[in-house]
Amino acid sequence: MPLPHRPSPRTPARLQDRATWLVSRAHARSFRLLNAGFEAHGGGLRGYHYRLLAALEEWGPSSQADVGRTTGIDRSDVTAALTELEAQGLVERSVDPANKRRKIVTLTDAGATRLLDLDAVIDGIQREFLAPLTAEQREQFLGLMSLLVEE
C-alpha cells in the first residue's frame, strides 16, 4: 500500500505567525474573490478602474495627476486605465483651458451608474471575505487594519 503523497497545504511554522505572511494570504484570498467578481459582473473593469471611478465620484472632475495622487495610482497607470474607461464612455477627458498640460477627467452618467453596480458587487464580496469573523471581530479587524494602513 503506497503512501498517498498528498500533503495538505499546511504552512511552515516560521511563516504562520508572521504578520506579513498573514497579510499576504489574506490579500491573495481577497484578490481571488475580487477577480472572480469583476470577471462575472465587472464588464471588463478591474481594481484600478473602480478606484478611479470612486475618486471622481467623490471629489468631482480633476486632472489626471490629481486623480493619481488621491488614489495612489501611478500617473502612467492612470493614463492607461482612463483610456479604457473613456472607451466605455464612463469618463470624459478634456484639456484644461487654463493649463493646457492638464486633462480634466469627468465622470459621465454612465460612469456613475456603473460605479453603483460595482459597489453592489464589491459589497457582496466583503461579506464573503469576512464570513469567518463575527460582527464584533469585523469591527476589530477594520479598526486594526486602519491603524496599520495609515501612511
List residues near DNA by CB under 7 A: 2, 5, 24, 28, 31-32, 34-35, 46-48, 63-66, 68, 72-80, 82-83, 93, 99-103
Q: Whole-number minimum distance, CB 46 to its own copies, in Å?
A: 12
Q: Are 110 and 85 in contact (CB under 8 A)?
A: no
Q: Whole-number minimum distance, CB 93 to its own copies, in Å?
A: 17
Backbone angles phi and psi of 145, in degrees to 5: -65, -40
Q: Whole-number minimum distance, CB 89 to its own copies, in Å?
A: 21
How many chain residues are in contact with its own copies, going by CB under 8 A?
Answer: 62
Asked if 132 is part of the footprint of its own copies (rule: CB under 8 A), the reply reads: yes
Asked if 129 is part of the footprint of its own copies (rule: CB under 8 A), the reply reads: yes
Residue with cell 472607451: 87
Q: Which does 108 bind (CB under 5 to 8 A by kind): its own copies, DNA, none?
A: none
Give one DSSP letter per residue of the chain, joined into a string: ------------HHHHT-HHHHHHHHHHHHHHHHHHHHHHHSTT--HHHHHHHHHHHHH-SEEHHHHHHHHT--HHHHHHHHHHHHHTTSEEEEE-TT-TT-EEEEE-HHHHHHHHHHHHHHHHHHHHHHTTS-HHHHHHHHHHHHHHH--
Nearer to its own copies, 5 or 100 (CB): 5
Residue with cell 491573495: 28
Nearer to its own copies, 16 or 83 (CB): 16
Q: Which residues would be at the binding site for its own copies (CB under 8 A)? A: 5-20, 22-27, 29-31, 33-34, 47, 51, 54-55, 57-59, 62-63, 65-66, 69-72, 119, 122, 125-126, 129-130, 132-133, 137-138, 140-142, 144-150
